[in-house]
Amino acid sequence: MELLVASAIGVLVVGGIYLTLRARTFQVVLGLTLLSYAVNVFLFAAGGLVVDQPPIWGKDVAQHTDPLPQALVLTAIVITFGMTALTVILSLRSFLESGSDHVDGDADPEDTA
């Protein structure tokens, strides 16, 4: 199970870095989103992977999962959603003002030719 989660984190990080280094703003936003998903899965896995156990301790419960990573991931999801919305709005504003969706503001050489 840990190998599968670690592989998923690796794929998300690689995809996120690849898309973040692209020249267009939408791809950069998708790359940042993939990186945030990788961090969320990493935080979730850092708390220990326990399957089919309740997150709340009780007298009749022998094993339980640690609820702290779940709370951290939930908080990170909310923060990531807000940051993604802000990034999309800034990208849209940049596109409307410059007329290009390139990160550096230069127009696409294929469009000008």
pLDDT (tens digit per residue) in 3-42: 898 999 999 999 999 999 998 889 999 999 999 999 999 9
Is pLDDT at 89 greater than 90 in this prediction?
yes
The total number of residues written for the chain in this structure: 113
Whole-number pLDDT of residue 103: 80
Residues pairing with 102 in the sheet? 24
3-state secondary structure 64-95: CCCHHHHHHHHHHHHHHHHHHHHHHHHHHHHH
Q: What is the pLDDT of residue 47?
A: 79
Q: Which two tokens stand for residue 101?
A: 């969706």
Calculate the average pLDDT of the chain.
85
Report the C-alpha gap between 104 and 41 in whole angstroms: 31
